[in-house]
Amino acid sequence: MRSSLAEWLLARFIPRSHAEAIVGDLQESVGGKSGGEFLRLILGVLCSLAWRPVGGFLLAAFGGAFVLFQLQAMFFGSAHLPAANALQQAWVSSLALLAAFLWVIALYSSIRFGLWDAMTWMSASFALPATVAVCFWWQQWMPSLAVGAVIAFLISAMFFRKGRLGVAAVAATVAIEAFVWMIGLTLSMTLLATGAKRLGFTESTVKTTLEIWLPASYLFLTWLICAACVRIHRLVLEGHGTASCFSPDEIHS
């Protein structure tokens, strides 16, 4: 029972077969010792496996929201900056959104896969010029400088296999992120509106519910994006069975 629970808990962070093997290893290590020793070992493994996904998710969720609010406030909330025309409003808002998307990936990836991971590097490399461009949007030279920096980085990334794969992984994650936000927020709002109508919520109840519903939806969607990030990283950047001659016949029982 306790080992099945341990296996289930570990399977939240790693593939089921890997969790099964770890629990089997720990059972073998513990042998006839007390259940307390098994629990101590399981908790140790769980903490080691969980801190990166959980820490990465929290950093991505709060860091992404912080960046988006700061960039939007910088653009719309500043009184001493010149008024933006419709075109500037459109490109700066889109770029701020893109920068926030990229920072979510960069922050999550930096904890989940490490600072030197190709996904962390590529997402941060594109997020930085986008952020600088939004911060100095009124400067005439800014769009060309930002585009120039992105193109230069893109070209330099093409010289390395990891660089090319990193660019592909970040592009795929941003595309999924945009899709998840668009569909997710629409669905979330529709669900809230339908529920409020059916349950006969008053205006103040809807307002209170919205204060909880929106952050909850944001966290849920960020979690989905983090899961997509892991899947894409696994598909694009992690090698499976490369340069190996490992076959089932070689296995000892």
Q: Which residues bind other proteins (CB under 8 A)?
A: 3, 14, 17-18, 20-29, 41, 44-49, 113-114, 116-118, 121, 152-153, 156-157, 159-160, 162-163, 237-244, 246, 248, 250-253
> What is the smallest separation between the CB atom of 250 and other proteins, expressed in angstroms?
5
Nearer to other proteins, 108 or 153 (CB): 153
Q: Considering beta carbons, is residue 28 or 203 the nearer one to other proteins?
A: 28
- Beta carbon of residue 26, minimum distance to other proteins (angstroms, whole number): 6
Minimal CA–CA distance to 146: which of 157, 135, 130? 130
151/187 with CB nearer other proteins: 151
183/76 Cα distance (integer angstroms): 26
Q: Smallest gap, in angstroms, from Cβ of residue 17 to other proteins?
A: 5
Q: Considering beta carbons, is residue 76 or 160 the nearer one to other proteins?
A: 160
Smallest separation, CB 169 to other proteins (Å): 13
C-beta of 155: minimal distance to other proteins in Å? 8
* DSSP three-state, residue 234: helix
Q: Is 134 exposed, middle or buried (0-12, 13-18, 19+ CB in 10 A)?
A: buried
Q: Which amino acid is at 174?
A: V
3-state secondary structure string across 152-190: HHHHHHCCCHHHHHHHHHHHHHHHHHHHHHHHHHHHHHH
Q: Which is nearer to other proteins, 200 or 241 (CB)?
A: 241
Report how far residue 176's alpha carbon sits from residue 169's, in angstroms, rounded to the nearest whole number. 11
Residue whose C-alpha is closest to residue 110's, from 127, 96, 124, 97:
124
Task: Quote the CA–CA distance of 91 and 149 in Å, as a whole number.
Answer: 17
Q: Which CB, 17 or 204, lies closer to other proteins? A: 17
Residue 59: CB minimum distance to other proteins, A: 18
